């Protein structure tokens, strides 16, 4: 069937046509006939109806749609992981700030205790000096 008749389209595999040309080594009539036969076989194997091409195109489109859907799923999953990371980071920052505040309070308390002890010691030294 000719490609223009009946809605068929010829898909020519260039590599196979080139191989047919190399095999034929067109130098005489027999080689030319072999080349013509090879090309005819190649074309007859690759003539595809328009319906089949449309079916193949639909399959490819469906495959791309599945890939797009999978990409959207991965993108959504990344967004969820990113949101969890941001949430965890915020919790860590809050806990770290609380720990810093607690440490500062403890340091202030220890400083206050030290200053009180120092004041008591100075008072004791003052009393001791007064009795001497």
> No. of H helices and E strands in the chain?
3, 2
Q: What is the residue whose two structure tokens read 């002890």?
A: 117
Q: Which two tokens stand for residue 53?
A: 């091409």
Which residues are CB-contacts of 15 (< 8 A; sequence separation ≥ 6)?
Answer: none
Closest CA to 19 of 40, 43, 46, 38: 38
Q: What is the DSSP string of 102-119?
A: HHHHHHHHHHHHHHHHHH
pLDDT in tens, 24-83: 665 566 666 676 677 766 666 556 677 877 888 899 999 999 999 999 999 999 999 999
Q: Please state the pTM of the whole predicted model.
A: 0.42
- For residues 3 and 45, give the distance between their C-alpha atoms in angstroms, rounded to a whole number: 12
């Amino acid at each position: 069937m000719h490609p223009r008749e009946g809605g068929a389209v010829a898909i020519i595999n260039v590599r196979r046509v080139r191989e047919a040309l190399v095999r034929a080594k067109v130098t005489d009539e027999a080689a030319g006939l072999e080349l013509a036969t090879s090309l005819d076989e190649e074309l007859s194997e690759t003539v595809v109806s328009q319906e089949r091409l449309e079916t193949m195109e639909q399959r490819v489109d469906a495959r791309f749609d599945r890939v797009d859907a999978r990409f959207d799923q991965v993108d959504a999953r990344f967004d969820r992981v990113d949101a969890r990371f941001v949430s965890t980071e915020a919790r860590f920052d809050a806990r770290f700030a609380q720990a810093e505040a607690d440490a500062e309070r403890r340091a202030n308390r220890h400083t206050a205790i030290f200053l009180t002890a120092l004041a008591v010691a100075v008072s004791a030294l003052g009393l001791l000096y007064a009795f001497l």
